[in-house]
């Protein structure tokens, strides 16, 4: 989330909880803004265990599955993921 991250009552930094795979079974549990620390890389997965085909982001001028700092913006529109896998780039 970088040095400029400012927590609010509804937005807080959440570390990886000691695991490289974080799961979010319910839509309401899924973060709205996701970004690894500098030097990290993350992928979203449809599975609950960070396996299988990652979620692909496609649009005009972009096509990716992995993302780095600063990450995905607040309010990105994806509800088809259930886990996030992050590691060092």
pLDDT, tens digit, for every residue of 36-81? 888 888 999 999 999 999 999 888 888 999 999 888 876 677 778 9
Residue at 2 is within a domain: no
Residue at 10 is within a domain: no
Residue at 25 is within a domain: yes
Residue at 53 is within a domain: yes
Q: How many residues does the chain have?
A: 89
Distance between CA 60 and CA 55 in Å, rounded? Answer: 17
Residue at 51 is within a domain: yes
- Overall domain count for the chain: 1
- Tell me what pLDDT residue 18 has: 56
Q: Structural domain of residue 49, as residue ranges?
A: 21-88
Residue 1 pLDDT exceeds 50: no
Residue at 27 is within a domain: yes
Distance between CA 27 and CA 52 in Å, rounded? Answer: 19
Residue at 6 is within a domain: no
């Amino acid at each position: 989330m970088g040095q400029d991250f400012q927590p609010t009552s509804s937005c807080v930094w959440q570390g990886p909880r000691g695991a490289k795979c974080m799961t979010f079974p319910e839509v309401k549990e899924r973060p709205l803004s996701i970004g690894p620390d500098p030097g990290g890389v993350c992928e979203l997965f449809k599975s609950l265990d960070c396996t299988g085909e990652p979620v692909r982001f496609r649009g005009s001028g972009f096509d990716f599955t992995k993302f780095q700092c600063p990450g995905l913006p607040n309010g990105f529109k994806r509800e088809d993921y259930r886990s996030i896998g992050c590691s060092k780039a």
